[in-house]
Amino acid sequence: MIAFVMKLIQLVPLQLASVLGVVQAIVKLLKEVITSIVNFIFPFTSDNGQFESWVMKIRLIVDKVDGILERVKSFILLKLKLTV
Protein backbone atom coordinates (compact mmCIF):
# COMPACT_ATOMS: atom_id res chain seq x y z
CA MET A 1 0.00 0.00 0.00
CA ILE A 2 2.83 2.39 0.83
CA ALA A 3 4.50 1.65 -2.50
CA PHE A 4 1.25 2.50 -4.29
CA VAL A 5 0.95 5.82 -2.44
CA MET A 6 4.59 6.63 -3.26
CA LYS A 7 3.93 5.95 -6.95
CA LEU A 8 0.95 8.32 -6.83
CA ILE A 9 3.05 11.00 -5.15
CA GLN A 10 5.71 10.61 -7.85
CA LEU A 11 3.08 11.19 -10.54
CA VAL A 12 2.00 14.57 -9.11
CA PRO A 13 4.75 16.62 -10.82
CA LEU A 14 4.07 14.90 -14.14
CA GLN A 15 0.35 15.60 -13.83
CA LEU A 16 1.13 19.21 -12.91
CA ALA A 17 3.21 19.55 -16.07
CA SER A 18 0.31 18.12 -18.07
CA VAL A 19 -2.14 20.58 -16.53
CA LEU A 20 0.25 23.45 -17.28
CA GLY A 21 0.38 22.27 -20.90
CA VAL A 22 -3.42 22.40 -21.12
CA VAL A 23 -3.48 25.86 -19.51
CA GLN A 24 -0.86 26.96 -22.01
CA ALA A 25 -3.04 25.76 -24.90
CA ILE A 26 -6.01 27.68 -23.50
CA VAL A 27 -3.90 30.83 -23.16
CA LYS A 28 -2.76 30.52 -26.78
CA LEU A 29 -6.36 29.99 -27.88
CA LEU A 30 -7.41 33.18 -26.08
CA LYS A 31 -4.61 35.06 -27.80
CA GLU A 32 -5.83 33.91 -31.19
CA VAL A 33 -9.42 34.84 -30.34
CA ILE A 34 -8.24 38.33 -29.40
CA THR A 35 -6.37 38.56 -32.69
CA SER A 36 -9.49 37.49 -34.57
CA ILE A 37 -11.50 40.18 -32.83
CA VAL A 38 -8.99 42.77 -33.95
CA ASN A 39 -9.01 41.49 -37.51
CA PHE A 40 -12.82 41.62 -37.71
CA ILE A 41 -13.59 44.78 -35.74
CA PHE A 42 -10.58 46.98 -36.52
CA PRO A 43 -11.70 48.00 -40.04
CA PHE A 44 -14.99 49.32 -38.59
CA THR A 45 -13.44 51.44 -35.84
CA SER A 46 -12.28 54.97 -36.44
CA ASP A 47 -10.16 55.52 -33.35
CA ASN A 48 -6.79 56.04 -35.06
CA GLY A 49 -5.45 52.63 -34.02
CA GLN A 50 -6.13 52.88 -30.28
CA PHE A 51 -8.22 49.70 -30.35
CA GLU A 52 -5.45 47.81 -32.11
CA SER A 53 -2.78 49.07 -29.72
CA TRP A 54 -4.92 48.01 -26.75
CA VAL A 55 -5.32 44.50 -28.17
CA MET A 56 -1.60 44.29 -28.96
CA LYS A 57 -0.83 45.12 -25.32
CA ILE A 58 -3.13 42.31 -24.24
CA ARG A 59 -1.37 39.97 -26.67
CA LEU A 60 1.97 40.97 -25.17
CA ILE A 61 0.69 40.15 -21.68
CA VAL A 62 -0.67 36.81 -22.89
CA ASP A 63 2.73 36.04 -24.47
CA LYS A 64 4.44 36.78 -21.15
CA VAL A 65 2.02 34.51 -19.28
CA ASP A 66 2.63 31.80 -21.86
CA GLY A 67 6.41 32.18 -21.43
CA ILE A 68 6.11 31.88 -17.65
CA LEU A 69 3.97 28.75 -17.96
CA GLU A 70 6.50 27.26 -20.40
CA ARG A 71 9.40 27.93 -18.03
CA VAL A 72 7.57 26.37 -15.07
CA LYS A 73 6.58 23.35 -17.15
CA SER A 74 10.14 22.93 -18.46
CA PHE A 75 11.53 23.22 -14.92
CA ILE A 76 9.18 20.51 -13.67
CA LEU A 77 10.03 18.22 -16.58
CA LEU A 78 13.74 18.88 -16.07
CA LYS A 79 13.44 17.86 -12.42
CA LEU A 80 11.68 14.68 -13.55
CA LYS A 81 14.53 14.12 -16.01
CA LEU A 82 12.16 14.26 -18.98
CA THR A 83 12.86 16.26 -22.11
CA VAL A 84 10.45 18.41 -24.06
Q: What is the pLDDT of residues 11-64, one digit of tens each?
A: 888 888 889 889 999 998 988 888 888 778 777 777 777 777 887 888 889 889
DSSP readout, the chain? Answer: -HHHHHHHHHHHHHHHHHHHHHHHHHHHHHHHHHHHHHHHHGGG--STTHHHHHHHHHHHHHHHHHHHHHHHHHHHHHHTT---
Which distant-in-sequence residues (6+ apart) come within 8 Å of 22 by Cβ? none
**What single letter denotes the amino acid at residue 65?**
V
Domains of the chain, by residue range, sit at 13-79
User: pTM for this one?
Assistant: 0.72
